[in-house]
Amino acid sequence: MTHNQYVAYSDEVEQRRPDEEKLIGEVVESMRRSNEEAYHKYKHGIRDAHAKSHGVLRGELTVKPGLEDHLRQGLFATPASYPIIARFSSGFGQIRSDQIHFVRGIAIKVLGVQGPRALPEDDGMAQDFLFVNKPTISFGDVRAYHGAMSAASIQAKAPDLALKATGLLARTVANILKAVHITPPTPIEVFAGPNPHILGETFHTMAALRYGDHVAKLSVAPSSASVCELTGRHVDGSLGDDALRDLVVDHFANNDAEYEVRAQLCTDLVKMPIEDASVLWSDAVSPHQPIARITFPSQNADSAARRAYADDVLSFNPWHGLAAHRPLGSIMRVRRKAYESSSEFRHAKNGAPRVEPKDIGDLPD
């Protein structure tokens, strides 16, 4: 595949709906109500998504040397190493049992990144990347996401036992569909088990972002034996409601881990749309290409001080970063205001400083 086959980034790759700002405003307001409900339940401000941490790590991102020109973009333009802070989490906006199969995530903050910012008001020196263990999002544009808010509100009020029962039903439906060679819809697969070990998962940005001169989606995949051997391993139901946290802590007490960062560049705006993140970008159309590696040494992934810092002080936002990696598409434009609103609420309710780390030493041991 040649350099000229990749879609060139321009403002025209995005196509906004006429009613987009209205829809975004209503989504943000709905999320604010969810924040309020969660605060009254927990007496503490939590994130309206990915509320539960499973481990917080310090590590290093190293850009691969010798990348081809189309991959040498933005943060990845020059071989270099950067300290990072990473947070593993579950997608719920409540503190749920880890035995409920759901979306898992990893948020990565790359420190010491210089260059023009995606937002003019951002004077930081970090690049945030947010990943989940699904390549697409069911509600892939602002209209679909807006329509899903009622279902999300019902889910938020459901007890864990009801969601575990939902998982059993989802597994039954998924097995029936697969038996007749039908791929289950993503909403069913999200709850259908089995429940995977979080450290063996491959994580995706789901939505697109600018990749310097091009457009891409990024992914993070296990590469060292220590985590590759966890891929496909299921969470033992006997491990309890905090099983994922315990597994992460136990792993990093005695082991390190390495992951490969990959870019999937857009080659066709019809087959690989920017505005609909529910459409899978096919590997056959454009393969994932390695651009960097992430290494995590052995460490205490869940000390009390580290967990408090990650839950109450740290914020992750895909819009916090370089202009060269500006988020793209309506789902990302929703996140610009939604994440900012959620962060403001959480910090205000908890009386916690909203401070961006300047150095890896800011992350407590």
Find, among 144, 251, 125, 158, the residue nearest to 207 by Cα: 144
For residue 123, how many other CB atoms are within 10 A of its CB? Answer: 8
Residues of the chain with pLDDT under 70: 1-4, 149-193
**If DSSP codes are grouped into helix, strand and coil, which group holds residue 294?**
strand
Residue 53's beta-bridge partner residues? 89
Domain ranges of the chain: 3-352
Run of H or E residues at 331: helix 330-350
Which tokens go with 69? 């020109």
Q: What pLDDT, on a 0 to 100 scale, did the predictor assign at position 71?
A: 98
**CATH class entry, domain 3-352:** mainly beta
Q: What pLDDT, on a 0 to 100 scale, did the predictor assign at position 277?
A: 95
Q: What pLDDT, on a 0 to 100 scale, did the predictor assign at position 173?
A: 47
pLDDT digits (tens, 9 = 90+) for 176-223: 556 656 665 556 666 666 789 999 999 999 999 999 999 999 999 999
* Statement: the pTM of the whole predicted model exceeds 0.85: yes
In order of 156, 281, 363, the CA distances from 349 in angstroms are 20, 40, 22
